Amino acid sequence: MIKNNGTRDDALPRRGQVKEVTSLANPVIKDIKALSQKKNREASGHFIAEGLKLVIDALDTGWHIDTLIYAISAKGKPLVDKVAARVVAGGGLVLEVSEKVLSSVTHRDNPQSVVGIFRSRWMPLADVRPKKGETWVALDRVRDPGNLGTIIRTADAAGASGVILIGETTDPFALETVRATMGSVFAMPVVRASVADFLKWQRGAGVNVVATHLKGAIDYRKPDFAARPVVLLMGNEQAGLPDELAEAADIRVRIPQQGRADSLNLAIATGIMLFEARRHLLALDDR
């Protein structure tokens, strides 16, 4: 929730209008900066995404933009003006800000010239009813924002249907994660579930849960990925999958390795699994 409680000239932005803001002390800017913390994102239900293309793609796919911020230097660029007009027409707030303000929001020295504040979306687990041909990724306690962002992007590229986050995980709406998704956060439904809720759901969902495990006895290319909808179950970066999840899966597979590395990076392993699981559905002439 971005408040409209400013008092000075600089601090009076209203919805449905464009306002110039140059002060770091502006209360709206302060609220937006607070979104860099998970607790504030959760309390307000909003997150930050950077980049003009990404903001346009998000608007085109029906995402609600609460506030649009752009650098004063970007004013007059046709695409920026067009997107600002769309946000104003939709009742959103548009702020023209100095580079200094933009850097403070994105924590970058050379920020993108356009930033959007969006309402977060979580898909309820009960609404996930996979159909044949669908692939979902389930991540156990994923910790690294870069890994999660890369997985969301890769899942989108592979044509997966969504990502289920099990247990205590990093936030898909953190700035670093959103950056790593390269816009796919707007295309991939994200779901969160406790271990108990996930196990209950998988029993009734008619899915083939393929767990990946360093002790898996089956080669990852062997399962029949076409018969039922697939859930690829991936373990935590440090600890791998707990027995409770691994044993409840339909099958435990391993990606054979050579060389000295103990294991693959989680995002790389997920990418390999996704493209193997969807091999029968992917063809070069698909696009």
Residues interacting with ligand SAM, by CB under 6 A? 212-214, 216, 234-235, 237, 240-241, 254-255, 257, 263-264, 266, 269
Label each residue of the chain as H, E or C: CCCCCCCCHHHCCCCCEEEEECCCCCHHHHHHHHCCCHHHHHHHCEEEEECHHHHHHHHHCCCCEEEEEEEHHHCCCHHHHHHHHHHHHCCCEEEEECHHHHHHHHCCCCCCCEEEEEECCCCCHHHCCCCCCCEEEEEECCCCHHHHHHHHHHHHHHCCCEEEEECCCCCCCCHHHHHHHCCHHHCCCEEEECHHHHHHHHHHCCCEEEEECCCCCEECCCCCCCCCCEEEEECECCCECCHHHHHHCCEEEECCCCCCCCCCCHHHHHHHHHHHHCHHHCCHHHC
Q: Which is nearer to ligand SAM, 98 or 263 (CB)?
A: 263
Q: What's the min distance (Å) between Cβ of 195 and ligand SAM?
A: 15
Q: Which is nearer to ligand SAM, 150 or 212 (CB)?
A: 212
Q: What's the min distance (Å) between Cβ of 259 and ligand SAM?
A: 11
Q: What's the min distance (Å) between Cβ of 240 and ligand SAM?
A: 2
Q: Which is nearer to ligand SAM, 133 or 240 (CB)?
A: 240
Q: What's the min distance (Å) between Cβ of 271 and ligand SAM?
A: 11
Q: What's the min distance (Å) between Cβ of 134 and ligand SAM?
A: 20
Q: What's the min distance (Å) between Cβ of 210 and ligand SAM?
A: 10
Which residues lie below 8 Å from residue 50, measured CB to CB, with a gap of 6+? Answer: 106, 111, 112, 114, 115, 116, 175, 178, 179
Q: Which is nearer to ligand SAM, 113 or 208 (CB)?
A: 208
Closest CA to 52 of 43, 40, 41, 65: 65
Q: What's the min distance (Å) between Cβ of 217 and ligand SAM?
A: 11
Q: Which is nearer to ligand SAM, 172 or 216 (CB)?
A: 216
Q: Which is nearer to ligand SAM, 94 or 251 (CB)?
A: 251
Q: Which is nearer to ligand SAM, 217 or 284 (CB)?
A: 217
Beta bridge pairs of residue 65:
118
